[in-house]
């Protein structure tokens, strides 16, 4: 079937940052769409970061406002939605593998509708491949127009069309998209969308568009609503939360202001992710220091400990300024836990450069890190960097050596709480043992405790009785 292409992704357009102003819209579902999902089931895959998890909550909100019901059984579903991630090649391979497997299901159930969205949908090459090789995908929409889902699904259901609608220009901010949240205890709160950094390895500025901040009053209203629903923790989301507000044209209001205003609200726990060291300023540190409910756990991606590599990555800070920032955080927020992201085997990274990364990990006392081997992403500058000295063996050797050091940090970060009494927000039963409760400390350490289910959703005092590399054990003190 020939696809109807309303809009298709164009990486040249995605690269541009022309329009500095933001457009704000409010979503409203047309009455005619409110019952098109009646008696129909949908299955939702979510890959990737917290931004995608948050988008999936909007996708659920839209589907359920159209009267679809969620199912966790692929064999029973009428619609499959795949919210995808493009950050590394293995993330994409996983999705293509899954779509391949779904071909069989579609053969058995030809009326099954499959839609793909998220970051992979924003890639020209992916859309081309889907249209030619994956006939079982019926519609594709991008990260800027999640709210188009109802109209697209209607076209596919009623006209039996294959439809592509992916926007490549700077997206709008659309408020009031309905949401079905995963948790009743912790909530994601996006404060901004997109990214203007253009780190040379990263596909996000292309897939998520220009940086645009939500208005403070909308964020505050959302958090007030969450408080009245009984939420205990919010995590503010953005690709670079430290740059929040920099895109406002007529408003002087930044991340420090937002932290200060939110911390005055009666929400017990505030977290935020992810940070860019280059924009983490002293006012933000002051705001965290002066608040009681901003949690002492900061994720601060460094990527490399070599100034040469940082420059090639276009990270716009140095090893020295990063160390200074960590020192400031440790001083201002006693006991803070700092975690990071690191990429190894970036093109032109020598053994000396890599050793500088190891040194930095030791110097900064990280209590955890997500570590990755560089993965070339089509269309990004670093995809064209060629370094024949970095073989797969070299890359894995560096990753393993780094992981050994990082794991020591995880262990150290847990052991320092042994014997102490800490506050834990109990989230539910542990994944592995269903008579054990689990939750996180203020420093974001996973704790398992024996206790009654009445504690779920509560912040309780827990005495830490054992500290392992990946988790703590404790007992609730009534």
Question: CB of 195 within 8 A of CB of 240?
Answer: yes
Residue 201 binds: one of ligand 5AD, ligand SF4, none (C-beta under 5 to 8 A by kind): ligand 5AD
Q: What's the CA gap between 197 and 194, in Å, rounded?
A: 10
Residue 303 binds: one of ligand 5AD, ligand SF4, none (C-beta under 5 to 8 A by kind): ligand 5AD
What does the per-residue mask of binding to ligand 5AD show for 62-101, with x meaning CB under 6 A?
-------------------------xx-------------
| Candidate segments 48-56, 358-366, 410-418, 453-461, binder of ligand SF4 by CB under 6 A | 48-56
Six-digit token string for 242: 């430290």
Alpha helices in 134-247 (DSSP H): 149-159, 204-208, 216-228
Residue 341 bridge partners (DSSP): 370
Q: What's the CA gap between 330 and 300, in Å, rounded?
A: 13
Q: Is 201 in the site for ligand 5AD (CB under 6 A)?
A: yes
Q: Is 341 in the site for ligand 5AD (CB under 6 A)?
A: yes
Residue 313 binds: one of ligand SF4, ligand 5AD, none (C-beta under 5 to 8 A by kind): none
Question: CB of 190 within 8 A of CB of 172?
Answer: no
Total number of residues shown for the chain: 478
Q: Is 142 in the site for ligand 5AD (CB under 6 A)?
A: no
Q: Is 62 in the site for ligand SF4 (CB under 6 A)?
A: no
Q: Is 48 in the site for ligand SF4 (CB under 6 A)?
A: yes
Six-digit token string for 59: 């996708």
Residue 51 binds: one of ligand SF4, ligand 5AD, none (C-beta under 5 to 8 A by kind): ligand SF4
What does the per-residue mask of binding to ligand SF4 show for 189-228, with x meaning CB under 6 A?
--------------xx--xx--------------------
Alpha helices in 160-249 (DSSP H): 204-208, 216-228
Instruction: Describe the strand order of the beta sheet including 113-118 as a list of residue ranges.
Output: 4-7, 163-165, 139-141, 113-118, 79-84, 41-46, 69-70
| Candidate segments 257-265, 330-338, 374-382, 384-392, binder of ligand 5AD by CB under 6 A | 374-382
**Cis omega before residue 116 (within 30°)?**
no
Six-digit token string for 441: 């400390």
List interacting residues with ligand SF4 (CB under 6 A): 48-49, 51-52, 85-87, 118-119, 203-204, 207-208
List interacting residues with ligand 5AD (CB under 6 A): 87-88, 201-202, 301, 303, 341, 343, 372, 374-375, 377
């Amino acid at each position: 079937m020939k696809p109807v292409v309303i809009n298709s992704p164009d990486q040249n357009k995605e690269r541009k940052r022309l329009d500095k102003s933001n457009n704000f819209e409010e979503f409203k579902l047309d009455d005619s769409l409110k019952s098109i999902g009646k008696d129909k089931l949908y299955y939702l895959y979510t890959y990737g970061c917290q931004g995608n998890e948050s988008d999936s909550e909007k996708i659920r909100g839209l589907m359920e406002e159209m009267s679809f019901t969620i199912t966790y059984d692929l064999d029973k579903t009428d619609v499959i939605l795949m919210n995808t991630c493009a950050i590394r090649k293995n993330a994409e391979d996983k999705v293509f593998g899954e779509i391949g497997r779904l071909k069989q299901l579609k053969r058995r159930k030809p009326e099954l509708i499959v839609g793909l969205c998220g970051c992979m949908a924003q890639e020209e090459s992916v859309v081309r491949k889907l249209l030619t090789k994956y006939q079982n995908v019926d519609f594709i929409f991008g990260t800027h127009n999640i709210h188009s889902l109802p109209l697209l699904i209607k076209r596919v259901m009623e006209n039996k069309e294959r439809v592509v609608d992916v926007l490549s220009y700077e997206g709008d901010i659309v408020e009031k998209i309905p949401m079905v949240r995963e948790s009743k205890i912790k909530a994601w709160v996006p404060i901004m969308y997109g990214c203007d950094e253009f780190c040379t390895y990263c596909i996000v500025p292309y897939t998520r568009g220009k940086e645009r901040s939500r208005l403070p009053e909308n964020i505050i209203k959302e958090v007030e609503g969450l408080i009245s629903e009984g939420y205990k923790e919010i995590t503010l989301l953005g690709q670079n939360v430290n740059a929040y507000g920099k895109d406002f044209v007529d408003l002087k209001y930044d991340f420090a202001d937002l932290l200060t205003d939110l911390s005055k609200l009666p929400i017990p726990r505030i977290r935020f992710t992810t940070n860019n060291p280059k924009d983490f300023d002293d006012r933000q540190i002051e705001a965290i220091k002066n608040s009681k409910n901003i949690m002492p756990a900061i994720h601060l991606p460094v990527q490399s400990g070599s100034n040469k590599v940082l420059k090639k990555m276009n990270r716009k800070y140095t090893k020295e300024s990063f160390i200074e920032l960590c020192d400031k955080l440790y001083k201002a927020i006693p006991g803070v836990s700092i975690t990071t992201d690191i990429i190894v085997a970036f093109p032109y990274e020598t053994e000396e450069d890599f050793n500088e990364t190891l040194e930095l990990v030791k110097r900064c006392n990280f209590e955890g890190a997500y570590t990755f081997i560089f993965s070339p992403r089509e269309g990004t500058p670093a995809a064209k960097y060629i370094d024949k000295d970095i073989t797969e063996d070299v890359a894995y050797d560096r990753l393993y050596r780094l992981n050994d050091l990082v794991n020591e940090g995880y262990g150290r970060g847990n052991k320092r709480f042994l014997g102490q009494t800490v506050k834990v927000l109990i989230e539910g039963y542990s994944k592995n043992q269903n008579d054990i409760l689990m939750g996180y400390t203020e420093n974001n350490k996973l704790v398992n405790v024996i206790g009654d289910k009445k504690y779920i959703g509560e912040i309780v005092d827990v005495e830490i009785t054992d500290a392992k590399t990946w988790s703590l054990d404790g007992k609730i003190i009534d």
